[in-house]
Structures are given as C-alpha cells and as structure tokens.
Amino acid sequence: MRVNLKDLSFADLDSLVAQMNEPAFRAKQVRDWLYKKNCCSISEMTNLPKQLREKLEAGHCADGLDAVRKDASGDGVLKYLFKLRDDLLVETVYIPEEGRRTVCVSSQVGCRFACAFCATGGQGFSRNLSLAEILNQVIEVRKDPEAGEPTNVVFMGMGEPLDNFDAVTSAVAILNSPDGFNIGGRRITVSTAGMAGQIRKLAETGLNMNLAISLHSADDKTRSLLMPINRRYPVDDLIRACADYPLKHGRKLTFEAILFDGVNDSPQDAAKLIRALHPVRAKKINLIRFNPVSEISFRPSPPEKVNAFKGLLERAGIDATIRVSRGADIAAACGQLKSDYFGVTR
Ligand code: SF4
C-alpha cells in the first residue's frame, strides 16, 4: 500500500526528497501542494519535474477522503461522513459563526472511554486516525464550495485526541506551521476527556494551541458516573496536571461542563467546581447545553439552572460562558457524533 505524503512529518518529507537526490526546495513545493492548494493527487503537482512525480508516485500518494454523505443544518452547520481506506467511517463538522469558521475534526474511529452522555462512546473503539486522515478532514472542508475557508480547528469530534497522541500532535504542528496550514495557535484547540498523564506529556511538546478539558463535574462520584475515565484519572490528579500546564502569555485553560438536570447542576456542584479549580490560575469555564441523544437518558439542565450556575462561577471570579452547541438538527452537536452506517447515501 502506498504511503500518503500527508502521513509524513516535515522532517520525513525533507529526507524523502533528499533520498531522491532532489534539492530541498522541492519538499517545500510538495508541502505547498498538500497544505496550501488542497492537492489530493501527486499528478496535479505540475511544478515538480515529471521524473520526480513518477518517483513519488511509485511508493506514495496524496489521497484525500471520500465524502459519502453531507448534511446541512438549518443554522449553517455542515456535517460530513467520510469513508476511510478500510471502509470505516468518521464524521467532521463545519461550524460558521460571526468572525470565525471552525472545523471540528475527529481523531479516532469510535472511542474507548464510553462517556455516558456521548454517542461516539456508545459505539466502542475501532482505531486511531492517521495523520493524513486528520489533516484531510480540514482539506476536504476547504475544498467544499459550500463551506468558507476555515479559520479555526478544534479536536472535539469523534475520539479522545490525547489517546492518539502522536498523530494529533503532528497534526497540530502542521496546522500551525507557516509551511503548513498557517493557522494561529489561538485558533487550534485540543479537547481532552482528562488523560492527566497525556496532559503532562503534551506540556513537554511546547505546541502552540489551546487546551480544553471536559470536566463536567468536580465530584469524583458524579464524574465517574458521567465519564468512566475518571476512575483512572480522578479529579485531584487531573487538576494537578492542569495547574502545572505551561500556558503561553494571555492564554487560559478552558474547562467544559455539560450540565445535566439533577446530576451536576446544583449550587453545591458549582461550589465544588470553584474549589477544585482554585489551583488553576488562568481558566475559563464553558457551560454547554446538552443535546439529547435518543439512546441516552440524561436530560439537559433547564436554562434558569444553567444561568444560576454561571452566576455562582462569576461571583467567584471565574470567567464563565454558556455555549449553545450548534447543528443539533443534523446530530452534529457535542456528544452526537457517531459513524452511522445506516442511512449512508452512496
Ligand atoms: S466524550 Fe469524548 S472521550 Fe468521552 S466517549 Fe465521547 S468521544 Fe470519547
């Protein structure tokens, strides 16, 4: 099977071109085709000598993804279902907003963490996505005339990004690099369910991006009910890793909390959250309205309770916002993504 050029790091692409006795600038030309011109075929790289294209094609490709379905929401959100080389499926969401156009990418097919409120978790884990499969999600959205040029990328689709550490961190580096997609670090967000050990490892990479943590509750019993991963990385351990995370100037860690009626939305829950997050100096909290998933029994917290919860956080000096998750009418909102084989139109 030929290796996708988008699976190579910049250093590996440089070596490949050098091994072919080509000057170094050829690697830059290949990168331009891949990441600036959305190229999905080596034969389209017309400023490369024919001989080099043939050498590259002998063992490599630049394939994109095959969109087998696209849904458009009434609020402008687009959801893509992509078929991978092994016929597995992943979803990607495009979210246009005032001043930004975000691509929400998946990092795994399925997920091994089985959060109780998440459709992806309910389908089990198939495999990690490769670097090329992650980057191609952004490229395919860029190629779609119905979507505007993406300004932001969030790793909040299917899967736990830090469970696919190497591919996700390599993708962040290429998304951020001026020789890659040239998307600023403030516009790239990796969201984790709270793999404390991987957060420490991520801190050592020095990558330029935002980090969001799906916390949902600071009470171990409640959090373990919502997120079984909490039994492995309890709240204390997770918050310590977050407090130690080196933030770039002016950045804040984002903590996400989906509020469920009668589960984690009481004033006592807010007080616990405020106490637990005390060691994290620069932080903000997104309170997210839950989008019901048919097979999941939790109900969204009513708006008045969400507002009261936000008020308590603000009174404690914490920057809090209420986020409305978009695309619920096409099951594209937070927690609703799954590889739905049924209903795929080919
Ligand atoms: S919320 Fe994230 S970590 Fe939890 S099951 Fe869903 S995809 Fe996995």
pLDDT tens digits for range 260-304: 999 999 999 999 999 999 999 999 999 998 877 777 788 999 999
- What is residue 292's predicted lDDT score, i.e. its pLDDT? 75
| Atom from ligand 1 closest to the CA of residue 214 | 1
| Atom from ligand 1 closest to the CA of residue 158 | 7
Domain coordinates of the chain in residue numbers? Answer: 3-61, 66-330
| CATH 3.90.470.10 holds for 66-330 | no
- What is residue 335's predicted lDDT score, i.e. its pLDDT? 58
- What is residue 337's predicted lDDT score, i.e. its pLDDT? 67
Tell me which CATH code domain 3-61 carries: 1.10.150.530
| Atom from ligand 1 closest to the CA of residue 160 | 3
| Distance between Cα 264 and ligand 1 center (Å) | 18
Active site residue 91: yes
- Ligand 1 site, CB within 6 A: 111, 113-115, 118, 120-121, 158-160, 193
Stretches in the chain below the pLDDT threshold 70: 328, 330-346
Residue among 111, 117, 199, 223 whose CB has most ligand 1 atoms within 8 A, to mutate: 111
Cα–Cα dist 290/323, whole Å? 10
- What is residue 296's predicted lDDT score, i.e. its pLDDT? 77
| Distance between Cα 261 and ligand 1 center (Å) | 20
Burial 128-166 (b: 16+ CB within 10 A, else e): bbbbbbbbbbbbbbbeeeebeebebbbbbbbbbbbbbbe
Return the residue matching tokens 């956080």. 313
Are residues 346 and 117 in contact, defined by beta-carbon separation less than 8 angstroms? no
| Distance between Cα 154 and ligand 1 center (Å) | 14
Q: Could you report how far apart the first and last alpha carbons of the chain are, in Å?
A: 25
Cα–Cα dist 141/313, whole Å? 37
Q: Can you tell me whether residue 78 is helix, strand or coil?
A: strand
Secondary element (H or E) of residue 307: helix 303-315
| Distance between Cα 119 and ligand 1 center (Å) | 8
Average pLDDT, the chain: 93
Cross-strand bridge partners of residue 208? none
Residue among 104, 112, 118, 163 whose CB has most ligand 1 atoms within 8 A, to mutate: 118
Cα–Cα dist 288/293, whole Å? 15
State the DSSP code for 32: I
- What is residue 293's predicted lDDT score, i.e. its pLDDT? 72
Domains 3-61 and 66-330 share a fold: no
Cα–Cα dist 60/55, whole Å? 9
The pTM assigned to this predicted structure is: 0.94
Are residues 52 and 26 in contact, defined by beta-carbon separation less than 8 angstroms? yes
- What is residue 123's predicted lDDT score, i.e. its pLDDT? 86
Burial 85-106 (b: 16+ CB within 10 A, else e): eeebbbbbbbbbeeeebbbbbb
- What is residue 332's predicted lDDT score, i.e. its pLDDT? 62
Residue among 90, 106, 113 whose CB has most ligand 1 atoms within 8 A, to mutate: 113
| Distance between Cα 3 and ligand 1 center (Å) | 29
Single out the catalytic residue among 22, 40, 91, 133: 91
